[in-house]
Every structure is written in C-alpha cells, then in structure tokens.
Structure 1
C-alpha cells in the first residue's frame, strides 16, 4: 500500500525484498551449491521474479483428471543456460511431452 515509488513504504518494501532475496534464496542456493531448485507447477515464478531470478517450466505429467501439470526449474541470475540444459535433459529422459489427451 504505497503512493508511488517516492513513498517511504515503497522504498522500505523494496529494501526488505532485496534483503530476503539475498539472505534467503541466494544464500540457500550458494550454501548448498545447487544448480537449480525444482518445484511443482509454476506458482513459484512470481516469487522468482521479485528477485530477478530465472525459471523454466516444462511438462511433467497428467493428474487423475488428465489435466496436464508441469515442474519449474529455477536458479540464480545468469543461470539461464544451465536451466535450459536441465529442462531439456528432463524432457528427453522422461518423454512426458505428448499431445494433451483432452484434445486427442
């Protein structure tokens, strides 16, 4: 709830998000020497965007109602090439990507 970018609440919020980003996700990834974080679905993408972190979603299967779902590989800034490699390897090894059964 701010009144533009000059509002003290806005500046405080941005500083807090930057601190959480650095002390949370970035620290977690570096401390554990991770190439990517994997999450079900794409709900994590809005959280990643706050910190400017890349994410790539790929098909992962179909639920009991034959609705497709995916997984998201996310990483630190600049990790896009590695995330593309990981996503491609996942797709090639699982062969999950198929025409949607609801439309076949």
Structure 2
C-alpha cells in the first residue's frame, strides 16, 4: 500500500543487477557475519536467551546475514502516518524457529493488536480495484 519510495522502475533496475560484485560489499558481509558470530550468538548463549526482541524490522538484516531465524508481528500502528503498522521482531539462534513462533504467537495473543488489512481503492467508483505491481523476468 505504501509504495511511494519504491517505484516500479526501481524494482526493474534492481532485478537487472547481479548482487554484490565489489570487494567493499564482500567485506561488509564478512564483517556482519563476524559480528553475528561474536556478538549476537555470544549474547544469546551467555545470557541464555530464548529470543531477542527489537522494534521494527531493521534487525532482520543481521539475522539474515548470520542465517538466524526471525519473525515480525504487529506491535502497533502509527496513526500520524495513515495507520501504518509498526512491527516488532523476534530473533533467535539457528534451529529455534518453533520457540520463536511460540513467543511471537504469545505476544500476538497477549496484545491482540493486529488489525486485518483493508484494501483501499484510489478510484472514484470505490469498486475496490487495486493497481497491480508488475514484476518482469526480462
């Protein structure tokens, strides 16, 4: 629903890339992997944590680089920004997916904050039509 910052031409341009080709990008990923192993994993084990929780989804990149599972669930809504959902991210060590799902579900049940999405039409006739996002394989 909020695609203003991500126009179709940006998606098409990104689709034509081959990922990270440069040494700088590779060094960044290697550093993130090192930080994941020496930071996140160490923290989880030393503190005997089942999960780490962060606002939003920014931490998902750290989890993904280290191959760690994460799950994001609604935590509220920004009423000053057209009710844009605000998420909370739970992350854990490899193999802890069942525990993360359990924790995220417990959070959802305790807060009951999730609202079903509504499709809003920009058309005058209000027929509920939605402009599709086109993805090309070319």
TM over 0.5: yes
CA RMSD of aligned residues (A): 2.4
The equivalences for 1:11-90 within 5 A come to 16-65=31-80, 66-90=83-107
Change in 2 beyond 3 A, CA 1:33/1:101: same
Alignment gaps of 5+ in structure 1: 3-8
Verify the 8 A CA contact 1:68 1:100 in the aligned structure 2. no
Structure with max Cα Rg: 2
Deviation per CA, 1:33-74, whole angstroms, max 9, x where unpaired?
A: 110010111111111111000000001111232221110000
Higher relative contact order (CA 8 A, sep 6+): 1
Q: Does 1:96 align with 2:113?
A: yes
Contact kept? 2:36, 2:62, Cα under 8 Å: no
> Aligned pair in 2 of structure 1 residues 41, 102: CA closer, same or farther (>3 Å)?
farther
TM-score, normalised to structure 2's length?
0.61
TM-score, structure 1 as length reference:
0.79
Cα offsets for 1:5-38 (capped at 9, x unmatched): xxxx94x666544432221100001011110010
Q: Which stretch shifts more, 20-29 or 93-102?
A: 93-102
CA distance in 1: counterparts of 2:86 and 2:28, whole angstroms: 33
**What is the CA–CA distance in structure 1 between the aligned matches of 2:117 and 2:29, rounded to whole Å?**
41
